[in-house]
Amino acid sequence: MSKPQVGIIMGSKSDLPVMQEAIKFLEEQEIPHEVSIVSAHRTPHRMVKYAEEARKRGIKVIVAGAGGAAHLPGMVASLTSLPVIGVPIKSSNSIDGWDSVLSILQMPGGVPVATVALDGAKNAGILAAQILGATDKVIAKKLDAYKKELKEKVEESAEQVENYGYRGNKIGFGS
Ligand code: RP5
């Protein structure tokens, strides 16, 4: 794979099962990416180094996942002008997920973090690809194909439900 364009980081190895969805999407789309563990609270200096050096290494978007008092995405966003996508994670130290969501979502003016849904790492991967796709035609083409596939799956389901329903009755439009 060529030089990574997306940097995926998370506060702990325990976040990996959730963050795997972002990694998987980028792998499927053949978008070069790197993955690491960077903790805002346990390795603050590593976090500063990562955020400050990311652009120099060719990273164009950062996806950062964390749970509980989830300061990693916001702090990384405070240290770089690269776009940062935050993934709130319902971790073992999270009360109910809201702590992670609000820690990442409620950023002060001037320091945005594009926050996806709780455990929404797949959308973070897709959004990272879409940011790259704004200027990269090859990636844009792959994303168009992906979205077309989504549309076709819904149309297929609609057709099945309209024609057969779940009790075998015709229940759709015009029935
Ligand atoms: C956060 O604390 C991490 O991002 C993780 O979601 C959570 C729990 O970490 P571990 O105690 O499992 O390492 O900083």
Cα 94 to ligand 1 centroid, rounded to whole Å: 9
Q: Are 128 and 61 in contact (CB under 8 A)?
A: yes
| DSSP-assigned beta bridge partners for residue 6 | 33, 61
Average pLDDT, the chain: 95
Give residues (CB < 6 A) around ligand 1: 10-12, 14-15, 39, 41, 66-68, 89, 91-93
pLDDT-derived band at 142 (thresholds 50, 70, 90) equals: very high
**Nearest CA, atom 9, ligand 1:** 12
Mutate which of 9, 14, 20, 99 for ligand 1 pocket (most atoms within 8 A of beta carbon):
14
Entry pTM:
0.93
Q: What is the mean pLDDT of residues 136-140?
A: 98
Name 4's Cβ contacts closer than 8 Å, sequence gap at least 6: 32, 33, 34, 57, 58, 59
Cα 167 to ligand 1 centroid, rounded to whole Å: 45
